[in-house]
Structure 1
Amino acid sequence: MINTTFPMTTSTKIWQWLGFSICYQTQGTTGPAVILIHGFGASWLHWRKNIPALAVNCRVYAIDLIGFGGSDKPKPGEQITYTLETWGQQVADFCREVVGEPAFLVGNSIGCIVAMQAAATNPDVALGTALLNCSLRLLHDRKRVTLPWMKRFGAPILQNLLAIQSVGDFFFNRLAQPKTVKNILLQAYANPETVTDELVDILMTPAKDPGAAAVFLAFTAYSSGPLPEDLLPRLSCPVIILWGTADPWEPINLGRELANFPQVQKFIPLEGVGHCPQDEAPELVNPILLNWIGELLSRR
């Protein structure tokens, strides 16, 4: 029987990028390369239920984006800018310098945009891109006009308030509490039994690192950059989209519109699953990803 979880105590590897330490995990010795890219505020451990299953047939790499997880958290604006373009280049460089060959890029939430950014600007690194509940970036400057007036005007006001350091730090410290994090996860996950103490710890531990609050607030204020509908037409690799139907943050009816792009081979709804299907329903996600990778390789 194949182990489908990954111990939190497992040691990680470090890659030096632009003078910063980047944390990643890897497993598997044969087969195509797969890079797993977490969402906002998460880390490689959000893929702990997927790495062992995928590693049976693939060489799997799960990376912590700079500013998150066990990776360095340099000062925003001074040492680095926390944008999707930055993270996309990080993934592309990781693929070239660590993986050493093109890979399948798999992302969740904002990690989907990072994966597409990497594939769009560096087409040589991507064999295919899998998007799990892709962030639609509904608070983006170009999308606010479609929002109800309270969100349209309230979001910029909140962003300006959080830009005041004392206010931002206070907000982050209140947010980065186990009970608050658990309540947020209970919104995002349709199955409350999958919101475990382990999962809360995965999100809480990096939040205690110096610089974590500044990174969080820098991205909270970020309402520009690419949208999924900007990046999809630029991709030269095939795309598959998986979407939990019970996602309260990224509505599936809006997500389905992404399937209209010719690059998208399949759009697969996951019934009753929330925003993070790789963690909530790995028994559904893992076989789909392995079958998709196998199909693409058989055609090459």
Structure 2
Amino acid sequence: MDIRRRNNITVTGNPRGPVVVLAHGFGCDQNLWRLTVPALTEDYRVVLFDYVGSGGSDLSAWTEERYSSLEGYAQDVAEVCEELDLEGAVFVGHSVSAMVGVMAAKKAPERIGALVMVAPNPRYVDEGGYRGGFSAEDIDELLASLELNYLGWSSAMAPMIMGNPERPELGEELTSSFCATDPTMARAFARTTFLSDSRRDLAGVTVPTLVLDCTEDMIAPPEVGAYVHRAIPGSTLVTLDATGHCPQLSAPDATNAALTAFLAGLE
């Protein structure tokens, strides 16, 4: 299989620099990182890709069996890293990709040497003393609405997920990204994302890890960032001066500053 075509791999930046892999979340593609890439290309070799079912990926490679769990996406990451023969790369995962990165680092420890988790959430459903941001009923309703009318759900939810209502162009961009995703594949990715529980994986992280959260985020409330930080031994938590779930778009300067400071500390 042509992995480069399957995952629409893009490689840019300094070919002799350390490698940074940027991974998008649900309903998005590598374009989500366009304001981050310029901050990295002088010093780092930057790898971008699309998960199968998203962006410019090869949709014919998608199967519901593989992508009905986060393990399927983690396998994509491991295969992308193997295809490019990466060693000790820094994996930057947004939203659900943060947990995919945790799984990929376990699958291919020689390939991934550090993690940056942007607005992570290992479990979206509240449980006991854990606050994930949604009740079980909320998630059931969200998935039912998505199944019934994906485009309508996208138009309603994307601006709420993005936040920053005073900047409607951001919500419109996320809406367009959601709506460009194949509905069948998007529904499967949504179920995989919102029903996942990856909390047990956090304690097994052994690589340097930066957790980035926002002051206000309906998908990953600040309590979640604090939980992830506590669960990963030796991790660093930075709360960005940003709102919404996509700080790389809504607050790129703050996001890039935190990311590049972490990267500099690894050298």
Structure-2-length-normalised TM-score: 0.85
The separation in 1 between residues aligned to 2:188 and 2:175, in whole angstroms, is 23
Matched, 1:283 2:253: yes
The 3-state SS of whatever aligns with 2:77 is helix
Aligned length: 263
Select the structure of larger CA radius of gyration: 1
- Give the drift of 1:171: 0.9
The separation in 2 between residues aligned to 1:61 and 1:37, in whole angstroms, is 9
1:218–1:131: structure 2 CA closer, same or farther, 3 Å change rule? same
1:224–1:81: structure 2 CA closer, same or farther, 3 Å change rule? same
Name 1:24's counterpart in structure 2.
9
Counterpart code for 2:241: E
1:147–1:95: structure 2 CA closer, same or farther, 3 Å change rule? closer
1:91–1:186: structure 2 CA closer, same or farther, 3 Å change rule? same
Structure-1-length-normalised TM-score: 0.76
> Residue 77 of structure 1: which of 64, 68, 72 is its match?
64
Paired-residue identity, %: 24
The 3-state SS of whatever aligns with 1:219 is helix
RMSD of equivalent CA atoms: 3.1
1:148-297 matched pairs, under 5 angstroms = 151-153=135-137, 155-156=139-140, 159=143, 168=147, 170-176=148-154, 180=155, 184-190=158-164, 192-193=166-167, 195-196=169-170, 199-200=173-174, 203-204=177-178, 206-207=180-181, 212-222=182-192, 225-227=196-198, 229-297=199-267
Moved more, 24-33 or 111-120: 24-33
- Give the drift of 1:107: 0.8
Counterpart code for 1:77: E
Q: Structure 1 unaligned segments of length 5 or more: list them.
A: 1-14
> Residue 37 of structure 1: which of 20, 23, 27 is its match?
23
- Give the drift of 1:111: 1.1
Contact 2:121 2:224 in 1 (8 A): no
The separation in 2 between residues aligned to 1:128 and 1:147, in whole angstroms, is 26
The separation in 1 between residues aligned to 2:130 and 2:202, in whole angstroms, is 21
Moved more, 233-242 or 218-227: 218-227
1:124–1:155: structure 2 CA closer, same or farther, 3 Å change rule? same
Name 1:48's counterpart in structure 2.
34
The 3-state SS of whatever aligns with 1:268 is strand
